[in-house]
Amino acid sequence: MPKQRHEAGDEPARLTLTIGSTAYDVRITRGRIVLHGHDRGQRYDVTTPDGAVECTCPDYGHRGKPEGRPCKHARALISLGLITLPEAPDAEEPQD
């Protein structure tokens, strides 16, 4: 029986990220990380403009962005070291 070739083609490796019970294919390209959900084919682009972490998921759009905090996708990528943020300057620096 001939072995079926994956359509992914010449990718040297594939990274799968699991958040909760959802698995995503992770594609790291210049300037962005793209997550493709296995279950429903959802796609989220995670970018780091100006030292913030933005995501195209609805949760980030509704809550994360207004509240200035990363969504679960961004937090997962940060926790794995796939995204590094520049040191946030301490706003509460005591002054003499």
Spatial distance between the Cα atoms of 46 and 87, rounded to a whole number of angstroms: 19
Q: How far is the CB of 44 from Zn ion (least distance, A)?
A: 5
C-beta closer to Zn ion: residue 57 or 89: 57
Among the residue ranges 7-15, 18-26, 72-80, 83-91, the one whose residues contact Zn ion (CB under 5 A):
72-80
* Beta carbon nearer to Zn ion, 24 or 60: 60
Which 8-state DSSP code applies to residue 40?
Answer: T
Interface with Zn ion, residue 73, by CB under 5 A: yes
Distance of CA 10 to the CA centre of its chain: 23
Task: Tell the smallest beta-carbon distance from residue 14 to Zn ion (Å).
Answer: 20
Read off the DSSP letter of residue 50: G
User: What minimum distance in Å lies between the beta carbon of 35 and Zn ion?
Assistant: 8
Sites of contact with Zn ion (CB under 5 A): 55, 57, 60, 71, 73
